[in-house]
Structure 1
């Protein structure tokens, strides 16, 4: 990718200084001509990563950036803009003045353990907000964490990492996971389903590195590193630094558990453990880039000598008048227009607001309301709001099954999408149970047989088994699947190629 200083992106962002470069693209400081401010611009070349899947990656990239832009947390970099231009994808973010955590660690050796606790606590606050969406970062590492001048921590690359690592084998030539092997959880390394537990493992690796100066598992090859993640226990950090509190060492070891079920249940739980080790309120040194400062003087201005007048409250605009009888038909037309323009979040809001009025006017079980509920659930799914979509899908599935029977294809489809929600919400055991309950229907040609969907369900079952640590069952599931796909479609079928790559990778790591 040849990019030069002064180049304009989207007729708005003038590139200034190259500040980062990798296999997938570059990061530049840039000048936003419209709003007269400095920004950071990430340029990606999907064709360098995804081959024939570049178009799918572009579509997913824009969607994921839109979803992640909805996460409102001061510890997450603000997304200003995203899109594509020619062969490139671009992501425009706030410019963060500070040092990335990798450089911060290199400049402070050994890294004070209270600093490590303060960094980790701030990261837990970010992860808790992100996982509630739900989004999984998938590539948490020091290079993706910035320490600002006032000591606050900002997480980068949320949407990009999510896109690049979803359905990995569909997006790579080798079938090898995209990501950073040194920080990769075992289930991610094996190609299994990821969830919040995956980010917690990466947090454990990051904390181990801050406390000891080294990642827990290193090696000369990516395969060697991943093999160590899977099979070797980490070295307890107190053997390297005895001054580290025992409770902190125990927490790091729990985060680095091979089995996701043995890690802490959530980022919130990790934060509660770290809170006991955080420094008490006091007087900071005044030095920049001290991650304990936000806890020593919460919300204090930077620098401390600054005297900033309190902001005046802005006038509250009067609420718009509410129509006594909403026009359902007009709202439906507006939803169609918004969806056609890609304005999915607005469409979700309108659908959610109009449903009660539609039920009152037409009846809860009327065709109009049923159609609106279907559209609402589908739009929630497309907007990444899986937590809200799940009860809607379950309700639709139950109502349809009551009318047409448990084997009704539409009811099964709702259940399948509900299982996808569970998978996205980081509930692999519940998702696995739902997929297994659905599989007999899709395999029974006399009921609701659908070989294509049956194969996809079996693929998801295999990946969930990997996430749950049952590698033997996952291998058997995927091995049987690839034989059936090849028997039906031939060895060149995309699913057969993908599953065989996963099996080959799985076999390499297991070996």
Structure 2
């Protein structure tokens, strides 16, 4: 016999928690699969349970006013004498937390795509006065097609609601903003902080702050985490800058809107992609962490080709002939002049070369294509003789 809850069929249990159960359900009237989240109705004297029920109703009220591709839709709310339930869109997929817990990692382009889906949902939600306040991987659903859907508005703050007051600390510690820890009234920028924490985790595989509640609270309020680029070679300083701004301690230092966050992330990622694909650059080429544009490397001056060696001279009893000595001297001096410029990359002026003697009967190499250094001053006869003698002494 099929178990019913109102007009809905209960097909199987999808998950259980301390306060209730989530079922896969079916609406036979409109032929639609649904997810049904239930909680037990508390005793009137149980203040904590009554607050949980109020939070449960607030989820239905918050998500019920939102209709967006990146937000899990809420279709219905109902109560029986024993339980209250919310009927939601059935998401055929898993949570981002489940994927991360398995140790799976995403490339930067995929991270950008996931974050853009999240930002689109938050931009829509914030524009209608709903702040989620518990953005984390466990509340991000991934469909089989890879779409992002924000779930669980159970502690959402609704601008027109007086149910959530300042002084109440709600959220998940690792993803909570400083103002949440201090019990201050929050706005849309607290969701952007939590999204920055999630971006950090996607880029590095680690949360920026770990430990117990007290340790995390102290770190969130007083310390800065290592930049993501210190933990992952695929992260550029431009991406570091996006995370740093999203996770700024003061709300006014963060992005003003989810759309601004998405745009900055896209530009930072495209700067990296353009550098890698067009110029062969890597993370070390992003010198300024605030910059999102990369200039190509300036090509270095081409090295001058080394002249081919002269034909080997035929030794004679009385030593090399003057013609061969002259040719060898010309080649040595050419290496000292043109070759020296190539060895030092064209950044320093080559050492002065003596004026060339009359061309010997040996084929000369073509003139180098590299830029010529400034002309050297003419040598005195004594200097020329000393240079020529040193060259002869160096020959075998």
Q: What CA distance in whole angstroms lies between the structure 2 residues aligned with 1:213 and 1:49?
A: 44
Instruction: Name the residue aligned to 2:188.
Output: 196
Residue 203 of structure 1 and its aligned partner are, at CA, apart by: 0.1
2:246 to 236, 255, 272: 255
1:227 to 218, 224, 246: 218
Residue 261 of structure 1 and its aligned partner are, at CA, apart by: 1.3
Alignment of 1:94-493 (within 5 A): 94-107=89-102, 109-158=104-153, 160-162=154-156, 177-219=169-211, 221-277=212-268
Q: Tell me: CA distance 1:132–1:185, structure 2 relative to 1, closer, same or farther (3 Å).
A: same
Q: Tell me: CA distance 1:213–1:48, structure 2 relative to 1, closer, same or farther (3 Å).
A: farther
Residue 49 of structure 1 and its aligned partner are, at CA, apart by: 12
Contact kept? 2:108, 2:269, Cα under 8 Å: no
TM-score between both structures, scaled by the size of structure 1: 0.48
Per-residue CA deviation, residues 194-245 of structure 1 (Å, 9 max, x unaligned), is 11011001101111111111111111x3233222222221221100002212
Instruction: Name the residue aligned to 1:493.
Output: none
Q: Tell me: CA distance 1:167–1:234, structure 2 relative to 1, closer, same or farther (3 Å).
A: farther
Instruction: Name the residue aligned to 2:84.
Output: 89
Residue 25 of structure 1 and its aligned partner are, at CA, apart by: 2.5
User: What's the secondary structure of 2:133's corresponding residue?
Assistant: coil
Q: Which runs of 4+ in 1 moved over 6 A?
A: 163-166
Q: What CA distance in whole angstroms lies between the structure 2 residues aligned with 1:50 and 1:129?
A: 38
Contact kept? 1:117, 1:274, Cα under 8 Å: yes
Instruction: Name the residue aligned to 2:365.
Output: none
Contact kept? 1:137, 1:199, Cα under 8 Å: yes
Instruction: Name the residue aligned to 1:76.
Output: 71
Q: What CA distance in whole angstroms lies between the structure 1 residues aligned with 2:237 and 2:104?
A: 20
How many residue pairs match? The answer is 269
Q: Kindly name which structure, 1 or 2, has the bigger radius of gyration based on alpha carbons.
A: 2
Q: What CA distance in whole angstroms lies between the structure 2 residues aligned with 1:62 and 1:176?
A: 18
Contact kept? 1:60, 1:163, Cα under 8 Å: no
Structure with higher helix content: 1
Contact kept? 2:78, 2:84, Cα under 8 Å: yes
How large is the RMSD of aligned CA atoms in angstroms?
Answer: 3.1
Q: What CA distance in whole angstroms lies between the structure 1 residues aligned with 2:54 and 2:104?
A: 43
Q: Tell me: CA distance 1:46–1:53, structure 2 relative to 1, closer, same or farther (3 Å).
A: farther
Q: Which runs of 5+ in 1 are unaligned?
A: 281-511
Q: Tell me: CA distance 1:79–1:102, structure 2 relative to 1, closer, same or farther (3 Å).
A: same
Could you say which structure has the greater relative contact order, defined with CA pairs below 8 angstroms and 6 or more residues apart?
1
Q: Does 2:42 correspond to 1:47?
A: yes
Structure with higher strand content: 2
